[in-house]
Structure 1
């Protein structure tokens, strides 16, 4: 059995480090809990090359808090991609804004920058680029568009920690960004966690207030905030894992390159677009095939786990019925959603397992064509 994702081998290899990290928290010292979180925040900010990291309970909370910290007017429009995980759009709505959905780019699974430009209106307050599956968007080009229209960028880096655009880490381009440490992420907690990144001192102060019920001190609450704090034990585990992140990313990139070689002779298997070195960390390895559901069943029959990420466009999600939104043409995203399937790419996969998965896919696709 090859699961779609597993942390068990990683945790087994790091068992002594993780146990030491947990044991380092002095349960008799009330300040130890805050210290564990602060140490992780400093380490994360250093890694991402930003001035501040504010740890919170989840990646969704991170994005909500980052958006609310902008102090944009209620109901303002926020542009994002129509193809992606529900939490991005839900965060925009829960932050009090109106999502505006745009298509993916040609042969891509991230937002089309021309579509972003066309979607800008006098009500646009922000753009949320999603570095989906670990692929960095061309942030220099997006920032030029945003600057031309005096629009703020808030990056969704939930799936792309460690990816770089033009040599700069994603998450460091916008006014703020949100990161997730959900158990499935390539830097994962045992359960959940997230962080806001920013180089703006005022946004950092607002984010710290917003994660604690909008408390301005002395139980005076000046904003409608959340109760969203990273568990200190999770912070200690993440601190122990962070030094290994680049090694894990490098192995994911090796696996992705092996998949690409294995699929090179199969035109009906559309692989992720080749990008510059470092621009894709392969949080997920997502391909496109004509008979996605049939292939998924075949892989399941061979003991190979998969996920369909993502079968619904965001503007079609039932949860958004009755909420204000704008959806531009998403013809390419509709085609992508009908064909995508994500296959295992976690670092502990062996080359033999990668080849077995590849052979199963190629065999099915060629027999079905």
Structure 2
């Protein structure tokens, strides 16, 4: 679904020089590359603080810890996403409350989120799924009205904007993943939490580094969750190219959509409230198995993101076994993602289109 080798070859000179610089300094943890990346990412996203951590899952976990969420608290979130979102809520002892999604965007439905608020609700955690921003204005308004935290899961949306502002800059906290296949990805695991709150930023920096502000002085129980200098160096290079990468993804998506509009599938839809950066190009089809087989026969990759909604996962069955979220369940049964990475060429996309149309 992504060709990291092609991207590396395009950036090889820049990346090799950046990695060599790290090796020359022999400074591998919490060094100048990480500090530079945090500063550049914060400037790009329009936030005061960026705290780099070891993974996107850690970003979510540490954000919830820094915010003080714990047992007895409820966090409203989407059931149609990767499990890390709900895992992080469970890690801190809080309870995920799944509400159904908008059938057009696959993001959390704000009106259903409002109806799910109880006296135990502490936060709303929308996911900007597949690179399309969630509808943040009504979510922020209800958080303000009820004294809740808005915490954004931006794992798939680096560079996406909503109403002219970057995802991650709306909530009290924004959580990013730099897994290799992401729009902005390193060559291992990596993540980041952003915030405009000085206290939260201080907590995050302690939590990622064994609860320490000063070496060998530990104020809280923390974790070992630090982005290493090699990954930070790679991200510093790729950050310079992120707007071009995202624009190519958008061009590829529009190329597909124009050619699949009458192909018996439902292409992804943009809601017009922000800029979709197409981490995935996910269509809907009632003939998923046939379409996927046609793609395989043509030598084209495809994937199902996500085949089982979180409320139907075994790990949550005891709590949510009787819950019905029909839109999420319908989308999970019909969704199929096509290759959308920036380095795709027209011949490759035409082969994908022909396979889908011929299925």
Partner of 2:287: 291
Return the offset for 1:95: 2.3
**One of 202, 207, 212 as aligned partner of 2:204:** 207
Deviation at residue 236 of structure 1 after TM alignment: 0.5
Q: Does residue 310 of structure 1 match 2:306?
A: yes
After TM superposition, give the deviation of residue 96 of structure 1 in Å. 2.1
Q: CA deviation at 1:71?
A: 1.3
Q: Is the 8 A contact 2:18 2:237 kept in 1?
A: yes
Q: CA 1:32–1:265 in 2, change beyond 3 Å: closer, same or farther?
A: closer
Does structure 1 residue 36 correspond to structure 2 residue 38?
no
Q: Work out whether residues 99 and 326 of structure 1, in 8 Å CA contact, stay in contact via their aligned partners in 2.
A: no
Change beyond 3 A, Cα 1:198–1:20: same
Counterpart in the other structure of 2:344: 349
| Partners of 2:317 and 2:325 in 1: CA distance | 18
CA distance 1:224–1:321, shift in 2 (3 Å): farther
Instruction: Pick closer, same or farther for the CA change 1:9–1:31 going to 2, 3 Å.
Output: closer
Change (3 A) 1:107 1:30: closer
The 10-residue stretch of structure 1 (142-151 or 213-222) with the greater mean CA deviation from structure 2: 213-222
Residue aligning to 1:280: 276
Aligned residues: 359
Q: How do 1:236-255 and structure 2 match up within 5 A?
A: 236-255=233-252
* Residue 31 (structure 1) shift: 8.5
CA contact (8 A) 1:98 1:325 kept: no
Q: Secondary structure at the match of 1:177?
A: strand
For residues 136-175 of structure 1, what are the structure 2 equivalents within 5 Å?
Answer: 136-175=133-172
Cα shift at 1:113? 0.7
Shift of 1:289: 0.4
Moved over 6 A (4+): none
Q: 5+ residue gaps in structure 2?
A: none
Question: Residues 116 and 351 (structure 1 numbering): CA distance in 2 closer, same or farther, change over 3 Å?
Answer: same
Paired residues of 1:119 and 1:328 also in contact (CA < 8 A): no
- The answer to whether structure 1 residue 61 and structure 2 residue 61 are counterparts is no
Distance in 1 (CA, whole Å) between partners of 2:139 and 2:348 is 38
Match of 2:356?
Answer: 361
Q: In the alignment, what sits opposite 2:334?
A: 339
**TM-score, normalised relative to structure 1:** 0.93
- Provide structure 1 residue ranges, at least 5 long, that are not aligned to the other structure: 365-369
1:269 aligns with 2:260: no
Instruction: Summarize the alignment of residues 65-214 of structure 1 with structure 2, pairs less than 5 Å apart.
Output: 65-214=62-211
Go from structure 1 to structure 2 and tell me whether the alpha carbon gap of 1:220 and 1:320 turns closer, same or farther (over 3 Å shift).
farther
Deviation at 1:273, TM superposition (A): 1.2
Secondary structure of 1:65's aligned partner: helix
